[in-house]
Structure 1
């Protein structure tokens, strides 16, 4: 039955979106099926409303942030969330879950395929927000600890394998130098690029950009998240907890394609996302204008190259 429905929904996607590439219609098909799958839970979700829903996910971080967490939070508010299961150091993301288990030590990107338990499970030109609610990270984690003399500018960089290719979406040292030199008088710049020991990895191998020592030597006024973690180890639960606390006090972000961009989009304000064309599916489905701003109401500025980053900085920051 499932195979028949998937074939039928692919035909529906073909007729509804004839201009979209054939391979991309599979994403639309899967989202259609995941939404239809919710029909099974109408009685439990809207009539019985007892705690029954167990949400178990260890796929890509980006997918968890965009689809799984808002779905879990909806069930929490609905009174139907029983348990959440995810990866190591995710308890603070699921602060609202009474029973959260950190079961997995590694993310497996294949685990996101055929994960039809949530009404939005992959890329799509449209999203169903009927069981999707913003998770109030900013309200939850705002604090008086990470407050500085100047407004904060968070540079959330990354440097890792993307789609089995060398790094594509990242800021190199010359770009970092230009940003810091230009904006350090206006903002307290905080730099974040987590190490492999600080987050749960998936298939994207983290590589060394050698920028941390360079920043310490050439721009000591920049605050490194690594240093904040060492300074506040006794106060925070883990590196993810630190990210939530620092990000909650920030309204200006520069972030990179993927989970880095999704997390930075959870805290309102403005978020410049560097995402080169030709890689992720966000471009094909215009998701920087749909699901990303929906995460918190943040203004998303999609930079397709480094020049766009500087153009947005000049215009908005």
Structure 2
């Protein structure tokens, strides 16, 4: 009963304080306040007692996992209050600092995103978060294995169901041809679009863009991430592990909406993200949140033409 009343009170507060916010986004504003209020329960344990007690469990999608749950866990680790972490398959290397990490979830769920034990969930009007420290993945996974004669340019693509419909934010094969032709001589391009079997799936179906064979036939000098995984010279434990090892040696990224862009934002340098729609636009996540993950310089392109503009300005 108390929770229902609290939700109504906070909902009314949001309407009064943010009268111009579209109705579909109001509950994210409300949820921010719920997250903040939830953390009040732990003031004594977190700031006075400071002994290991915190059990962090997250079963949501990849982006909120690495944007919220992971930095929350790392804050507790640095604070001396982290006891255990629990997450999806292929997350052990993300939570490398955890005293005890368990990979309990074979799939990620939308319901799992709404974990009010984290400082924020999904989107927020306020990303000035306490109890949030990004994990130094670049420093952790930088290596001497994936090094080339030219600087690395990561092209991280996706071709997924979006909002229960067809793919929206992806780099087309026609555009890849333009990008490859222009930058293949200056950079060692590494192309990455994970296949379903290499990642933990969520509520979005992954489709086939039919570009792998085309790349191998027409651009033999461009490296496919999946081929690096087959070779596995770095002895990666899984595809996520390999991605981090390769990304850690790069400072130039072209990525796309969702977890693809969020992961690329963890490794500094410059990241150009193609995102054509989504809550990230209203909340300006790419500049207010993603840049905090590593200090990366972020550019949000809404079209492939804008990707080209940012590439010409920065690469």
TM-score normalised by structure 1 residue count: 0.97
The answer to whether residue 312 in structure 2 is matched with residue 314 in structure 1 is: yes
Range with bigger deviation, 226-235 or 36-45: 226-235
Match of 1:287?
285
**Aligned-pair RMSD on alpha carbons?**
1.0
Match of 1:61?
62
The answer to whether residue 48 in structure 2 is matched with residue 24 in structure 1 is: no
Unmatched 5+ residue regions in structure 1? none
Match of 2:178?
178
Whole-angstrom distance in 2 between the partners of 1:182 and 1:58: 40
Whole-angstrom distance in 2 between the partners of 1:141 and 1:47: 34
Match of 1:217?
217
Whole-angstrom distance in 1 between the partners of 2:8 and 2:34: 10
The answer to whether residue 239 in structure 2 is matched with residue 250 in structure 1 is: no
Instruction: Measure how far apart 1:234 and its partner are.
Output: 7.1
- SS of 2:102 mapped into structure 1: strand
Contact 1:147 1:249 in 2 (8 A): yes
User: What does the per-residue CA deviation read over 1:102-155, in whole Å, with 9 as the maximum and x for residues that have no partner?
Assistant: 011111112212x11011112112124211001100010000000000000000
Aligned length: 314
- SS of 1:197 mapped into structure 2: helix
Whole-angstrom distance in 2 between the partners of 1:161 and 1:233: 32
Whole-angstrom distance in 1 between the partners of 2:297 and 2:14: 30
Q: Detail structure 1 runs of 4+ shifted over 2 Å in the superposition.
A: none
Matches within 5 A, 1:135-174: 135-174=135-174
Unmatched 5+ residue regions in structure 2? none
Contact 1:31 1:122 in 2 (8 A): no
The answer to whether residue 294 in structure 2 is matched with residue 296 in structure 1 is: yes
Contact 2:234 2:242 in 1 (8 A): no
The answer to whether residue 260 in structure 2 is matched with residue 260 in structure 1 is: yes
Range with bigger deviation, 139-148 or 14-23: 14-23
Match of 1:78?
79
Match of 1:41?
42
